[in-house]
Amino acid sequence: TSSAAEEVISPSVQVSYTKLLIDGNFVDAASGKTFPTLDPRTGEVIAHVAEGDAEDINRAVKAARKAFDEGPWPKMTAYERSRVMLRFADLVEKHSEELAALESWDNGKTYEQALTAEIPMVARLFRYYAGWADKIHGLTVPADGNYHVQTLHEPIGVAGQIIPWNFPLLMFAWKVGPALACGNTIVLKTAEQTPLTAFYVGKLFLEAGLPPGVLNMVSGFGATAGASLASHMDVDKLAFTGSTDTGKVILGLAANSNLKPVTLELGGKSPFIVFEDADIDKAVELAHFALFFNQGQCCCAGSRTYVHEKVYDEFVEKAKARALKRVVGDPFKKGIEQGPQIDSKQFEKVMKYIRSGVESNATLECGGGQVGDKGYFIQPTVFSNVKDDMLIAQDEIFGPVQSILKFSDVDEVIKRANDTRYGLAAGVFTKSLDTANRVSRALKAGTVWVNCFDVFDAAIPFGGYKMSGNGREKGIYSLNNYLQVKAVVTPLNNPAW
């Protein structure tokens, strides 16, 4: 008899779309080249996908430029654009099982997570931005002198968007939703590890009535396709999510080409602070979720767990027990909480940090090794007695490795939490309103979750302080990234007339 954990819960899915989406057609790369995308459970090839490079980016930008300059997209009424996005959201829901299965296969995340969290968030986000499309408008501005002054909020033009592999469809949504709502056209480069679901939803967008050339998608590598997009002279705006190192490169490429404005959502080393008055069981569970969610592959992962000295020992014991209970296995099976890391490169990187933790004399409470002998599964790992100057407390590990640090008072923990080059997110766990207010105002982070973590409603802005990036995605704030403001100034009662 097979246990519940052996039950396969995903539909079988085929890879139907493996070509670049340019001007409404699925096409081969100009070079004819392809590259394999791998199954993180085994390292085996799922499919070969078109490998776009500079020439394909050129073709895609040309199509996007034409669709922007000649229409129909920016010339359609905002209501019509909104309707296309709403129809798309319906199609995402209709195909949610295939999409979740494809996402799980290409990325290694659990099918249940993709199906119940991510795909619904994608549909919700497009509905949210569909709601904005016909509510974007300028102002009339009182100015000194006898002038009628108005601002027009215009789409910025062709948006270049480069996304990572950890949440392929959700990152697609965060980028594409606001850009379309504002009337832009798009060239999006998918991550080389996870090209499959974007093409699938590209097909759904065409079915929803998105005109050709409005959304173009190129799969390929960063140094070729990505760099050509970032340095393209005819791309008006660039949005990037990925590592801080690559963010620096991208900013340089944008600056050295046409100075296109760039929004960056980069790495993090987010503190998760547990005060002595917190409900320890809940704090343990939430800290576990904050770190281990999505195999630890979250830019905002709560990767520095600060625990007050009075509850430290109890917390460590319980955090260890929780990690030992975490169910690791085939993401297509029921009850699995953790699948494989995305690829061998990330696997090796995480293992290197685990070795570094041991060498720097942090206490390895549990885990630390590979699970099984194929694919990229890693044991849920907990370190206690972690010190701020250890590498595992400073670098983004991007894997299932929890680091627990001890603190003794509020001022000290605020200072230590802020002593990082990153500033993406933070968690504060306390029953005291005063502590919550004080700490959330003092933390230099784009999001502070109080007694919760990883709440990603479409309306909540997300982005970083310091080297975690600039600009905000989601919510009303993301619209600014995709709009130009034009001031139109007209004299009133001009005496010359």
Q: For ligand ADP, which stretch binds (CB under 6 A), given 168-176, 226-234, 286-294, 445-453?
A: 226-234
- 436 belongs to the binding site for ligand ADP (CB under 6 A): no
Min. distance of Cβ 437 from ligand ADP in angstroms?
Answer: 35
Nearer to ligand ADP, 163 or 311 (CB): 163
Question: Alpha-carbon distance 403 to 253, whole Å?
Answer: 35
Catalytic residue chosen out of the listed positions 112, 265, 337, 473 = 265
- 243 belongs to the binding site for ligand ADP (CB under 6 A): yes
Nearer to ligand ADP, 349 or 416 (CB): 349
CA atoms within a 13 Å half-sphere pointing along the CA-CB vector of 243 = 12
Q: Following CA atoms 479, 252, 297, 44 in sequence, which dihedral angle do they give, to the nearest 10 degrees?
A: 110
Min. distance of Cβ 120 from ligand ADP in angstroms?
Answer: 24
Q: Which amino acid is at 361?
A: N
Q: Following CA atoms 204, 205, 208, 209 in sequence, which dihedral angle do they give, to the nearest 10 degrees?
A: -140
- 114 belongs to the binding site for ligand ADP (CB under 6 A): no
- 164 belongs to the binding site for ligand ADP (CB under 6 A): yes
- 479 belongs to the binding site for ligand ADP (CB under 6 A): no
Q: How far is CA 341 from CA 162, 216, 297, 349, 356, in A?
A: 21, 29, 8, 10, 19
- 249 belongs to the binding site for ligand ADP (CB under 6 A): yes
Nearer to ligand ADP, 46 or 115 (CB): 46
**How many other C-beta atoms lie within 10 A of the C-beta of residue 322?**
20
Min. distance of Cβ 244 from ligand ADP in angstroms?
Answer: 8
Element (H, E) at 304: strand 304-308
Count of H-run helices and E-run strands, the chain: 16, 20
Contact 57, 22 (CB under 8 A): no
Min. distance of Cβ 272 from ligand ADP in angstroms?
Answer: 22
- 255 belongs to the binding site for ligand ADP (CB under 6 A): no
User: Which one among 47, 101, 123, 162 touches ligand ADP, defined by CB under 6 A?
Assistant: 162
Q: For ligand ADP, which stretch binds (CB under 6 A), given 114-122, 204-212, 215-223, 350-358?
A: 215-223
Min. distance of Cβ 349 from ligand ADP in angstroms?
Answer: 9
User: Which one among 107, 110, 219, 246 touches ligand ADP, defined by CB under 6 A?
Assistant: 246
User: Which one among 133, 176, 182, 230 touches ligand ADP, defined by CB under 6 A?
Assistant: 230
- 251 belongs to the binding site for ligand ADP (CB under 6 A): no
- 464 belongs to the binding site for ligand ADP (CB under 6 A): no
Question: Alpha-carbon distance 392 to 412, whole Å?
Answer: 20
Question: Alpha-carbon distance 402 to 216, whole Å?
Answer: 39
- 223 belongs to the binding site for ligand ADP (CB under 6 A): yes
Nearer to ligand ADP, 242 or 268 (CB): 242
Contact 241, 247 (CB under 8 A): no
Q: How far is CA 298 from CA 41, 118, 177, 289, 303, in A?
A: 19, 13, 21, 11, 10
User: Which one among 133, 206, 227, 390 touches ligand ADP, defined by CB under 6 A?
Assistant: 227
- 242 belongs to the binding site for ligand ADP (CB under 6 A): yes
The partner residues of 449 in beta bridges, in order of sequence, read 427
- Residue 346, classified by CB atoms within 10 Å of its CB into exposed (0-12), middle (13-18) or buried (19+), is buried
CA atoms within a 13 Å half-sphere pointing along the CA-CB vector of 265 = 26
Give Cβ neighbours of residue 245 (< 8 Å, ≥ 6 apart).
none
Min. distance of Cβ 59 from ligand ADP in angstroms?
Answer: 18
- 222 belongs to the binding site for ligand ADP (CB under 6 A): yes
User: Which one among 250, 254, 284, 287 touches ligand ADP, defined by CB under 6 A?
Assistant: 250
- 399 belongs to the binding site for ligand ADP (CB under 6 A): no
Q: Which amino acid is at 415?
A: K
Nearer to ligand ADP, 221 or 477 (CB): 221
Terminal CA-to-CA distance of the chain, rounded, Å? 91
Nearer to ligand ADP, 226 or 464 (CB): 226
Min. distance of Cβ 250 from ligand ADP in angstroms?
Answer: 5
Binding mask 182-201 for ligand ADP (x = CB under 6 A): -------x-xx---------
359 tagged catalytic: no
Report how many residues bind ligand ADP under the rule CB under 6 A. 17
DSSP state of 211: P
Q: Which of 465, 485, 463 is nearest to 474 (CA)?
A: 463
Q: Which amino acid is at 278?
A: A
Q: Which of 172, 178, 171, 174 is nearest to 155 (CA)?
A: 178
Q: Which amino acid is at 424?
A: L
User: Which one among 177, 226, 271, 368 touches ligand ADP, defined by CB under 6 A?
Assistant: 226
Min. distance of Cβ 348 from ligand ADP in angstroms?
Answer: 12
**How many other C-beta atoms lie within 10 A of the C-beta of residue 77?**
10
Where does this chain bind ligand ADP (CB under 6 A)? 162-164, 189, 191-192, 221-223, 226-227, 230, 242-243, 246, 249-250
| Catalytic site positions | 265
